[in-house]
Amino acid sequence: MTGKNQWVVPINGSDQWGVRGEGNDRITSIHDTQQQAIDRARGIAINQQSELFIQGRDGQIRERNSYGNDPYPPKG
């Protein structure tokens, strides 16, 4: 069973970044840099075998990584 996907999101009104589990209203952790938030979210995603989504300041997804049980090579 996989855990919740992890999102790295900008925190409105500040220069900080947050890590949020998909579907959660609350931020799991707050960081001063995006890289710190990415490192934390990656660790959670690896532990939970889920995906990591990284948003830019504009809210667009700029990167996505999967740490789940993906088949390789992909089907189809």
Span 34-75, pLDDT tens digits? 999 999 999 999 999 999 999 999 999 999 999 987 666 666
DSSP calls for 10-69: EPTTSS-EEEEETT-SS-SEEESSHHHHHHHHHHHHHHHT-EEEEE-TTS-EEEEEE-S-
Report strand pairing: 51-55 vs 6-10. parallel
User: What is the per-residue pLDDT for 68?
Assistant: 81
pTM of the model: 0.87
For residue 51, which of 4, 17, 1 has the smallest C-alpha distance?
4
Both structure tokens of 64: 């996505």
Q: Structural domain boundaries of the chain? A: 6-58
